[in-house]
Structures are given as C-alpha cells and as structure tokens.
Chains A and B, each alone.
Chain A
Amino acid sequence: MSRRLYALLGTIIGLAFALPLLWALSSSLRGGSEIFRHISRLSWETLVPVDPTLGNYASLVTGDFGRAILNSLLVALVTVAVGLLISAAAAFGLSAVRFRGQGALFAIVVLSFLIPFDAIAIPLATLFRDWDLTNTYAGLILPGLGHGLAIFLLRQFFLAIPKDLVEAARIDGLGWFGVFARIYLPLSRPALVSAGLTLFIFQWQSYVWPLLIGTDAAHQLGPIALANMRGQFTIDYGQLFAGSIVLTVIPLLIILRFQRHFTQSIATTGLK
C-alpha cells in the first residue's frame, strides 16, 4: 500500500475517534434549543456552533457541578501526593536492600493489585460506614492510596538503580532516608510520573466508589454530579456537554504533558 492510502485511512480513523468529543465540545458551546437543531441532518453546522456561547460553562460554576469538580481535583491531587510517597517508600523497601521475607512481602503487594477494586468495594464500603467515613474526604481518598500497581511500577524501576551507588552513598555517611530522597527519587522521574498518572486517573475516573460513599452534595465528585444531571426530569444537555468537556480536558492536559514519560516507563517496567 502506498503512503497516501495509509494517510487517508489514518485520517478517517482519527476523525472517527475524535468525532464524539468534537461534537460534545461544539454542543457545549450552544444555547439550549440549538443543540438538537443541527444533529438530525449532518452538515458543517453539526460540528461548528454558529453563535458560540460560554453560558453552559458559566452555569456549571454556579451549580453543584463546580463544587464537584473542585472535590474531584482535591481528592485526586491528595491521592497522588500521599499515594506516591507511600508507594515510593514501599518500592524502596522492596528494592534497596535484600532481606529474608522480602519475597513474601512483594507477593502481598502483587496479590493486592490482582484483586479487582470493584470486587471489594461492597465490604470496604461497609467498613467505611462503621468507621463513619461516609461523606468525608478521607473516605473518598483512602481507597486510592493502597495501590499495588504503583508500588510494582516503582519497584521495577528502582531495581535498575545500581547498588554501587547506594553503597558509595552509605559509606559517605548518607542515611537511608537520604539515599531514598536524594538518589532514588531524583533518578526515577519517569516512573514517578507514570505511577502518579495511574493514581490520578484511578481517582479522577472512579465511579462505583464515590457512588457508594460520597452521596451528599458537599462531597460529590465530578462523574457522580454528571450522572445526576441525567437523572433529573428535564436534562440540560448544554450543561451535560460542558460538564463532560471539563471532566475530560483536565486529565487530557495532564496525559499529553507527561505522555513521553509514560511510554518511557512502559519500556522499563518489563511489560515488554
């Protein structure tokens, strides 16, 4: 096949994947009655709003949705910060020195990420109810912290750091925390970015857990607020699309920014 044929095929496929998002974007910029006017007959006006308005976004801010987005950001960012610290420390404990029983501890980590989270959501929700963590930020954040995959990713990366470097630093009088903070962490940027992305996306996209544990308006997360928009008697489609775009653009910017680190760390984790 020739290059031009590939280019044509690639363009058709790329546009097909982008179409639903482009359509959501243009619909989010239309006034209420405009949304369905140009859908039933496909034309350029289906994708390009003639008279664009930011009204839908403005009304998002005043409603419950703005609060939900801030909640989602808070939950995801705290999870990334605390979760990375816990996971990196654990990965360090599993790779910097060797000791008897390490294999068993690593097995616990692997086992824990083989258990699908949705499978334990029901008993975990029961536990959290007993601990009065329903409708609290702690209740929303905590399940994101115990992420075996993040530990696994970081450990694979840490194992590649030469032990001589650690020995030399130890002889020079650097403490274990110093070795962790001043050698391992700075050398592991791609792995940290990739583990951080995993933690962020897990929280940003989570739906089942916040449905079980964050039900009041003050602790609602973005995806739940969006689902609730659809549950109302009259659906404001303009707001629905605007909410969809906001919930997509935030992780998209982060993924695009760190894409290179992400694929780089796929290459080093032994997935291949």
Chain B
Amino acid sequence: MTGASPRGRSVGRPVLVSLAFLAPALVALLVLRLIPAVMAFASSLSHTSLVTGETTFVGLGNYATLFADPTFLQSVRVTLVFSLIVNPLQIAAALALAVLFTRRFAGVRFLRVLVILPIAVPPAVSAAIWSVAYRPDGLLNSVLSVLGVPPQPFLTSPGQALWSLIVLLSWIGVGYWMMFLIAGLQDIPTSLYEAAAIDGASAWARFWHVTLPLLRRPLAFVLVADTVSNFLVFAPVQMLTNGGPQGSTNVTMFDIFTRAYSVGDLNLAQAEVMLLVLLVLAVVIVQFRLLRGRD
C-alpha cells in the first residue's frame, strides 16, 4: 500500500474522483462475480428438499455425499487422467510449434496464421465440425485410410472418446498458446544465440541453456492458464459425448451440470463446483511453487 503523497496532491478530492471512476466496475464485479461466489459456497452447505422446498443447513453433508458417490469419483478420475495427458501435450506442442514458426523459411507467416486460425472457432462450432469429422464415415477415417489405418470408432468407444476430445481441444488450444510463446521467443536477443554459437554450443544446448530459461515467464503463464482452461472444458463434452460412452468422458464440469440441471440437485452441484475450484487452485499453487523453485 502506498499511502498519501507528501505534497498532499493525492489526498482529498482525487481519491473521491478515483472512487467515482471505479464505482461501476466494482459494483459489476461485486454483483456479477463475488456475491454469486459467496452464494455458491453457502449453497454448497445447505440442502433444499424437493418435497417441501425448505432449505436446511447441512454443513459438509453434501461433500460427504459426493465422496460416497461412484459417479463423482469416476468423474474426478476422468478429469485427472484428462489433465495429466492434455496439459503436457498441448504445452510441448505449442513450444515446438513456436520454435518452428520463429525460424525463417518460405511462407512462414502464412503457415503460422493457419495454425492460429482455430482460435477464432467458438467451442460449440469446433464441437459441431468435429462431431461430423469423427463419424464412422467422416473425414478422419478417410484421412486414416489414406495412411493405411483401418476405420476407428472414435466417440463411440470408451477407450477412444477421451482421446478424441483431447485431439479436438488441442486443435483449438495449441495455436493460442503458441502465440504467447512466439511473443516470448521474439524477445530473446539474438546476440545471446550468437554468443552461444561462438562458444560451440549445439542447437540442443542453445535451446536448453538459452531459450528455455529466458522463456520461463511466458511458459509459466501458458502452463497455468492452459491448466485452468482445461479443467473447465464443457461445451465439446456436452455436444460430442454427453459424458459417455460408459462415463469415459464424464469430466467434472459436465458432471456438475448433469447434477444441477438433469438431476436437479443444485446444492450438491455447488459443492462439486467448490471442490473443482479447490482442485484448480491447488494445482495452480503447486505449479507456481515448482516454477519458482527452479530459479
């Protein structure tokens, strides 16, 4: 906190002026974000009877119910497996593509735009396009048949559905994260690479000792933001698989909405939201710790 300036210019009226400028945003944030967040927490601690409509305080009862519920436990397992695959995959791909597309070769700018194109595609649209591409007679199987691979069931197979979602989400996400990493790469002074080359460092050594350390901040941002967004994936699951087959794509975000609007238990859904947010926060904190520890 900075306190008042010694000249007294910043005390008195300017404070009120600042508050006047801030007021609309603060009201919006309070009403549209913070109050609902508090409500969500309160709701997760109570139970509304479907018969009488009466709401009673049940403390951590909803949480206990969840942890005894095999559907919930299954969705946690799916979410964790999904996150452990999708995040490293997307970040590694984004980094590799960023390195590739900051090289100089014919058509590089145009080809980079092609990779970034899917950013503009809303999740509902990518789900619509890929749902047709994943059909047994769809585009993907015809591409595979050119490569000599027999037709795959994709979305209808419990073993492949989650992978199909991962491919779709990477198609959307990789170009977006690549953009941040390209911005970071372009900030690294070329003189550092020249110096390393004079010292006789191999391309791999230059990447490991120059690029990676200097790319740490954008990489940390991409890692955290990618993790958070992948925990919240919903539209493609709802449109492509509805959590199935056999619960294999029932990620927590989808489980929450089924609980809230198909089953109709808002309190239980809210408790699950709280657990998801806690999980996200825990993962983000661990990521920050790990990245700082490498300093």
Contacts and interface: CB of A to CB of B under 8 A. Distances in A.
B163 interface: no
A168 interface: no
Contact of A272 (B115, B120, B187, B228): B187
B40 A227 contact: no
Contact of A148 (B24, B33, B115, B125): B33
A223 B40 contact: no
Contacts of B100: 6, 9-10, 13
Given A36-B137, A97-B18, A271-B217, A248 B180 contact: no
A143 interface: yes
A13 B40 contact: no
Interface size class, chain A = 35 or more
A134 to B, nearest CB: 14
Instruction: Indicate the member of B30, B218, B277 with the most A CB atoms within 10 Å.
Output: B277
A227 B124 contact: yes
A244 interface: yes
Contacts of A140: none
A99 B18 contact: yes
A contact face: mostly helix, strand, loop, or mixed: helix
A214 B87 CA distance: 32
A227 B183 CA distance: 35
A126 interface: yes
Contact of B124 (A11, A21, A96, A224): A224
A160 B261 CA distance: 47
A39 B138 contact: yes
Interface residues of B, number: 100
Nearest to A175: B17
B contact face: mostly helix, strand, loop, or mixed: helix
Contacts of A252: 117, 120
Interface in B17-58: 17-22, 24-26, 28-37, 39-40, 43
Contact of B269 (A105, A122, A248, A272): A122
A10 to B, nearest CB: 5
Contacts of B21: 89-90, 92-93, 176, 180
A256 B113 CA distance: 9
A10 B26 contact: no
A254 B175 CA distance: 17
Interface stretch (A58-66, A186-194, A203-211): A203-211
B80 interface: no
Instruction: Indicate the member of A96, A99, A115 with the most B CB atoms within 10 Å.
Output: A99
A56 interface: no
B280 A116 contact: yes
Interface string B111-147: 1111101111111111111111100011101110110
Interface of B: 1-5, 9-11, 14-15, 17-22, 24-26, 28-37, 39-40, 43, 97, 100-101, 103-108, 110-115, 117-133, 137-139, 141-143, 145-146, 171, 175, 179-180, 183-184, 187, 217-218, 221, 228, 231-232, 234-235, 238-239, 253, 256-257, 260, 266, 269-270, 273, 276-277, 280
Given A100-B1, A207-B123, A252-B117, 14 more contacts: A7-B106, A20-B130, A42-B142, A86-B25, A123-B40, A126-B266, A127-B39, A205-B122, A226-B125, A230-B239, A241-B129, A251-B122, A263-B183, A272-B218
